[in-house]
Amino acid sequence: MNSTAKSYISTNKDRFIEELFSLIRIPSVSAHTHRQPEILQCAERWTEILLASGADSVKILPTEGNPVVFATKFIDPKLPTIMVYGHYDVMPAEPLELWSSKPFEPEIRDEKIFARGADDDKGQSFMHAKAFEYLVKNNLLKCNVKFILEGEEEIGSSSLEKFCKENKELLKCDTILVSDTSMLSADKPSITTGLRGLAYWQIEVTSASRDLHSGIFGGAVANPIMELSKILAQLTNADGKITIPHFYDEVEEVSDYERELIAKIPFNEEEYKHDLQIKAVSGEKGYSTIERTGIRPALDICGIWGGYTGEGSKTVLPSKAFAKLSARLVPNQQYEKIAQLVSEHLTQLASKNIDIKVSSLHGAQSYVCPIDSKEYKAAEAAYTKVFEKKPLPVRRGGSIGVIPIFEKVLNVKPILMGFGLESDAIHSPNENFPLDLFYKGIETIIEFYNEMSN
């Protein structure tokens, strides 16, 4: 069977790549409101691909935000149903000048696909369509299949909770499969068993009502960038702890036994530093790098701007300064509560000389997947067959907003069968996806279906 799948993939690979490229070429950037036409165009293109891959019915369903692509293939109501989740929206590609090739004109170099969305999540979602195609075309499908592809993952999946609640029957399934995460490395397969939650804020600090001449007013009027810097600088201390009161109150304390298991996950600090070209790893005192990104929360400033940012020198005392702040959350931390307490704390830190406005932009709960379920074991067996190594269960630092929603609303624990690598540079310039993992991913998904039918 494995060789049949391999040979099907090999025979059809040029077509697979061309179909994937047709999705990538559509700049479906959900953060940019002017990209609405491309969002819809990408949803339409997905319907064509799913129909051609063997779905019985494909619909574009409205939500309060961007629509959902929903496809089904029914074999027998008595058979179990697998639902595949993915997203067709992508992150903004900026800063464009750091890309070696154009982000929405995919290019294969060094056996990798370079483009925004090559991995996250067009590349990874598309592997499911092609594994499904293989099973349908070869009469090997032994379960019912649903596909749900959303268009707001990169902006917080804010419409999906309501959509899930209102469409429980439509979305009813036994298993949820998601490929939107990464593995430890190409030769160290791993399955993501935990995701951090997310909260995100925009901060706006205002001093005078207009930009001022820094010579005439400098020293007598508060500088909003300095005030913002002082606020931000206070949010973490020298031990890398977040100083916001009550931030850690609900953080799950991981047992010593689990920390021992984490310590066994292969990690080469020198390689990590070399790959990122950093001088040192850093973060919360008392925790390893894998713990810092897996079981501990983190606070990051994702963006900052204010005043003159052009070439050369302009002497100005700006009116405003802005920052974007995000927190990665761990099990038990409620993002709504964190969003609220951080907003309040930021406001309290502001001096009386300025106005501060804090907006909470989006959030997601964290997620933990059990490793003793039938689905986890099927995934484990599938990876073992294709990668010839047993995959390690690893908690990862990223957030996928809909995962805890599926858990809560549909009462199914999604399986995170990711095939990305940290070097894929998702959310960054030069995002890429190795062809080798693209093909192996399709094979692994096929094996998963086989395992589940056994």
Site for its own copies in 279-298 (CB under 8 A): 279-284, 289, 292-293, 296-298
DSSP state of 431: -
CA 51 from chain centre, in angstroms, equals 26
* 95, 128, 360 from 106: Cα distances, Å: 17, 20, 34
Residue 267 token pair: 């990690």
277 counts as binding its own copies under rule CB under 8 A: yes
- Residue (174 or 422) nearer to its own copies, CB: 422
- Residue (139 or 209) nearer to its own copies, CB: 209
To the nearest whole angstrom, how small is the minimum distance from the Cβ of residue 40 to its own copies? Answer: 18
- Residue (145 or 197) nearer to its own copies, CB: 197
Q: Is 231 helix (H, G, I), strand (E, B) or coil?
A: helix
DSSP letters of 128-194?
A: HHHHHHHHHHTT---SEEEEEEES-GGGT-TTHHHHHHHTTTTT--SEEEE--SB-SBTTB-EEEEE
For 364, residues 6+ apart whose C-beta sits below 8 A from its C-beta are 156, 157, 197, 198, 335, 399, 400, 401, 404
What is the footprint of its own copies within residues 422-441 (CB under 8 A)? 422, 425-430
Residue 82 token pair: 């697998």
ω into 424 cis (within 30 of 0): no
- Residue (249 or 275) nearer to its own copies, CB: 275
Q: Which stretch binds its own copies (CB under 8 A): 57-65, 107-115, 322-330, 331-339?
A: 322-330
313 counts as binding its own copies under rule CB under 8 A: yes
263 counts as binding its own copies under rule CB under 8 A: no
To the nearest whole angstrom, how small is the minimum distance from the Cβ of residue 15 to its own copies? Answer: 30
Quote the CA–CA distance of 354 and 146 in Å, as a whole number: 53
To the nearest whole angstrom, how small is the minimum distance from the Cβ of residue 55 to its own copies? Answer: 31
To the nearest whole angstrom, how small is the minimum distance from the Cβ of residue 454 to its own copies? Answer: 33
Residue 181 token pair: 């995460």
110 counts as binding its own copies under rule CB under 8 A: no
Q: Which stretch binds its own copies (CB under 8 A): 30-38, 59-67, 163-171, 433-441?
A: 30-38
CA quadruple 269, 273, 274, 275: dihedral positive or negative?
positive
**Contact criterion met (CB below 8 Å) for 206 and 320:** yes
To the nearest whole angstrom, how small is the minimum distance from the Cβ of residue 177 to its own copies? Answer: 20
Q: Is 223 helix (H, G, I), strand (E, B) or coil?
A: coil
Quote the CA–CA distance of 173 and 164 in Å, as a whole number: 12
Q: Is 382 helix (H, G, I), strand (E, B) or coil?
A: helix
To the nearest whole angstrom, how small is the minimum distance from the Cβ of residue 316 to its own copies? Answer: 5
Answer for which of 239, 353, 374, 408 binds its own copies (CB under 8 A) is 353
What is the footprint of its own copies within residues 156-195 (CB under 8 A)? 156, 182, 195
- Residue (94 or 111) nearer to its own copies, CB: 94
What is the footprint of its own copies within residues 38-77 (CB under 8 A)? none
278 counts as binding its own copies under rule CB under 8 A: yes
Q: Which stretch binds its own copies (CB under 8 A): 41-49, 61-69, 271-279, 436-444?
A: 271-279
208 counts as binding its own copies under rule CB under 8 A: yes
Quote the CA–CA distance of 50 and 202 in Å, as a whole number: 38
395 counts as binding its own copies under rule CB under 8 A: no
Q: Is 197 helix (H, G, I), strand (E, B) or coil?
A: strand
- Residue (173 or 228) nearer to its own copies, CB: 228
First to last CA, the chain: 14
230 counts as binding its own copies under rule CB under 8 A: yes
- Residue (195 or 369) nearer to its own copies, CB: 195
- Residue (147 or 367) nearer to its own copies, CB: 367
Quote the CA–CA distance of 85 and 71 in Å, as a whole number: 11
217 counts as binding its own copies under rule CB under 8 A: yes
Q: What's the chain's Rg over C-alpha atoms?
A: 23
Q: Which stretch binds its own copies (CB under 8 A): 54-62, 143-151, 202-210, 380-388?
A: 202-210
CA 139 from chain centre, in angstroms, equals 33
To the nearest whole angstrom, how small is the minimum distance from the Cβ of residue 48 to its own copies? Answer: 28
- Residue (56 or 161) nearer to its own copies, CB: 161
Q: How many residues bind its own copies (CB under 8 A)?
A: 105
